[in-house]
Amino acid sequence: MSIEQILASKVKEAVKKHYEVEPESIEFQPTRKDFEGDITLVVFPMLKQVKTNPAQLAENIGKYLEEEVEEVAGFNVIQGFLNIVISDDHYINFFNEIKDREDFGILLPQTDASGIMVEYSSPNTNKPLHLGHIRNNLLGYSVSEILKAAGNEVYKVQVINDRGIHICKSMVAWQKFGNGETPESTGLKGDKLVGNYYVKFDQEYKKEIAQLQEEGKSEDEAKAQAPIFVEAQEMLRKWEANDPEVVKLWETMNRWVYDGFDKTYDALGVDFDKNYYESETYLLGKDNVQKGLEDGVFFKKEDGSVWIDLSDEGLDEKIVLRSDGTAVYMTQDIGTAIQRFKDFDINQMVYTVGNEQDYHFKVLFLILKKLGFDWADALYHLSYGMVDLPSGKMKSREGTVVDADDLIKEMTATAKDISEELGKLDGYSDAEKEELYRIIGLGALKYYILKVDPRKRILFNPEESVDFQGNTGPFIQYTYARIQSILRKAEFDTSAQLSKDFQFHEKEKELIKQLQLFPETVGLAAENLSPALIANYIYELVKSFNSFYQNVPILGIENEEEKVFRVQLARSVASVIKSGFKLLGIEVPERM
């Protein structure tokens, strides 16, 4: 049990003893540095239930804690805030318990752990992954790892959108202009090759629209009648009719894309437990719609289309089946959600999807609830903001996206330029340098994206992300490497326990307090599905360590117990940096 949990329980006892009510919530915060104390109780929220002077309330609680909690060494009251002084014994016991633990703050899946599915990535097979996909993948993967660290059983999945007019556009363009080229013959990754033909389709389509408009067609008529678009529609019709030649080409080009995606995922360091393919799931949900129609959840319009009326929930009517009986995206999302709860022993599901789909998921979750699925209340849309570049928004069909593979290479190159400029890599072999550039570049990219609250939009600046100063991945990686250098030089026994009468330097105690927050931070990050809480916690820990490092000698101190303790403290900080960064999918280098 953490010190805050112990204090919270005793605060409730104190209030009940003095005022015969139990406070609804207990709010702690770190004590401000200009006051004596370690943890501050904010008493003002309790005044809704307890009719008294805030200073008197704080005084009564403080006296009770001092008498009843052995970890409390004293207290003071400042304007209604109760500043609690925690005994050094508590910090000594805590540190002795965690100093050799590499898994501190990380829970193994509990026997009664809830199964949680996290869906992320879910790309279309007509183009390579881009910068927007990178944020999606990094968020989904990190949230999965954080949920695992909080003791849950987690399953990572993606839906690959491998059917529809988008892939048919690439297929038609390849047939017309490809001259049989393949990834092998061009040396291009398969997803890039297919993406090039998606762009080629759009270029030719625009030419045909312009030609038809010159001939007197309206813009809408030209768009619908452009020959290349008609060909793509016909190809989609043939695919749905299972035409052997079209299906064979579809399988070939999709395989090129899957192979390309796998290489990008590998470079990015993300993985999946199961892939769902839209070509296999797009008919799911129709039976559920039929049953919902019979049960009065849905209604049928005169043209035969099936809808749901959500106006009572402040939304509008939503179609779930077209008049010709074909499914819409909502239909297959209903069916896929139901299928996943059959496939896996889960009771929660997280959809990592951009905020432009907020309305879609509100509707989906409401429909599933109205269909009687209890687990619908445990569905969550991890809605995130878009990623912009200084040059503006990206557009796939115009070929102006920032390709994920190119960005990874650019990050590695930027890390190389900055590292060489700083002259940090003397004595490294070329292979060691290249590996370090990769670790720094990817760490910079991942940290820059994950340190931001998922709901916020990001303006991504590659050079700024690779800065070795400030709230960046490389700054934290460099601190970790600095600690490893200290540990390599510590050629003495560092296994001793901290003695009960040890006197802390204020910088040492500050670091231990930061370490204590790690398990709680992991729990909060899991609860809020926010890697940003982990990222910013690690940054605060690193700032604390650097302040300690600059103010307190480690290896140069003569007192043996202090020297051993400071090496142990540095090692514990490094262990938490490594654990925290692992939850973000970021590697840490042993040397920099």
- DSSP at 130: B
Residue 280 has pLDDT above 80, yes or no: yes
Burial 400-413 (b: 16+ CB within 10 A, else e): ebbbbbebbebbbe
Hey, what are 281's tokens? 């799931």
| 394 confidence band (pLDDT: 50, 70, 90) | very low
Give strand pairing partners of 39. Answer: 30, 84
DSSP-assigned states of every residue in 255-294? HHHHHHHHHHHHHHT---SEEEEHHHHTTTTHHHHHHHHH
Three-class SS of 10-51? HHHHHHHHHHCCCCCCCEEEECCCCCCCCEEEECHHHHHCCC
Distance (Å) of CA 490 to CA 99, 487, 559: 16, 5, 14
**Residue in 235, 210, 214, 237 with CA at minimum distance from that of residue 223:** 210
Residue 136 has pLDDT above 50, yes or no: yes
In tens, the pLDDT along 559-585 reads 999 999 999 999 999 999 999 999 999
Residue 457 has pLDDT above 90, yes or no: yes
Name the least confident of 216-230, 388-402, 428-442, 556-570. Answer: 388-402
Q: Which residues, other chains included, contact 316 with Cβ-Cβ below 8 Å and sequence gap of 6+? A: 310
Contact assessment for residue 564 and residue 491, using Cβ atoms and an 8 Å cutoff: no
Residue 386 has pLDDT above 80, yes or no: yes
- DSSP at 300: E
Strand-pair category, 306-309 with 317-321: antiparallel
Q: What is the pLDDT of residue 348?
A: 95
- Average pLDDT on 436-447 reads 95
Residue 398 has pLDDT above 60, yes or no: no
Q: What is the pLDDT of residue 175?
A: 97
- Average pLDDT on 429-434 reads 91
| Domain edges within the chain | 3-86, 164-273, 409-583
Q: What is the pLDDT of residue 318?
A: 96
Q: What is the pLDDT of residue 115?
A: 94
Q: What is the pLDDT of residue 531?
A: 98
Q: What is the pLDDT of residue 320?
A: 95
Three-class SS of 77-117? EECCEEEEEECHHHHHHHHHHHCCCCCCCCECCCCCCCEEE
- Pick among 3.30.1360.70, 1.10.8.50, 3.20.20.70, 3.30.465.10: CATH of 3-86: 3.30.1360.70
- Average pLDDT on 117-128 reads 95
Q: What is the pLDDT of residue 420?
A: 81
Greater confidence (283 vs 349) lies with 349
For residues 221 and 223, give the distance between their C-alpha atoms in angstroms, rounded to a whole number.
5
- Average pLDDT on 396-401 reads 52
Mean pLDDT estimate for the chain: 93
| 56 confidence band (pLDDT: 50, 70, 90) | very high
Report the half-sphere exposure of 370 (CA within 13 A, side-chain side).
Answer: 22
Report the half-sphere exposure of 254 (CA within 13 A, side-chain side).
Answer: 19
Q: What proportion of the chain, given as a percentage, has pLDDT over 70?
A: 98
Distance (Å) of CA 345 to CA 114, 115, 152, 280, 374: 9, 6, 12, 21, 14
In tens, the pLDDT along 475-506 reads 999 999 999 999 999 989 999 999 999 999 99
Q: Per CATH, the architecture of 409-583 is what? A: Orthogonal Bundle (1.10)
Q: What is the pLDDT of residue 465?
A: 86
Hey, what are 3's tokens? 């010190």
Greater confidence (388 vs 520) lies with 520
20 phi and psi, to 5 degrees?
60, 30
Neighbours of 491 (CB within 10 A): 7
Contact assessment for residue 166 and residue 230, using Cβ atoms and an 8 Å cutoff: no
In tens, the pLDDT along 302-352 reads 999 999 999 999 999 999 999 988 889 999 999 999 999 999 999 999 999
Distance (Å) of CA 385 to CA 3, 5, 69, 355: 36, 35, 45, 6
Q: Which residues, other chains included, contact 532 with Cβ-Cβ below 8 Å and sequence gap of 6+? A: 450, 451, 452, 453, 454
Three-class SS of 371-400? CCCHHHHHEEEEEECCEEECCECCCCCCCC
Q: What proportion of the chain, given as a percentage, has pLDDT over 90?
A: 84
Q: What is the pLDDT of residue 400?
A: 55
| 397 confidence band (pLDDT: 50, 70, 90) | very low
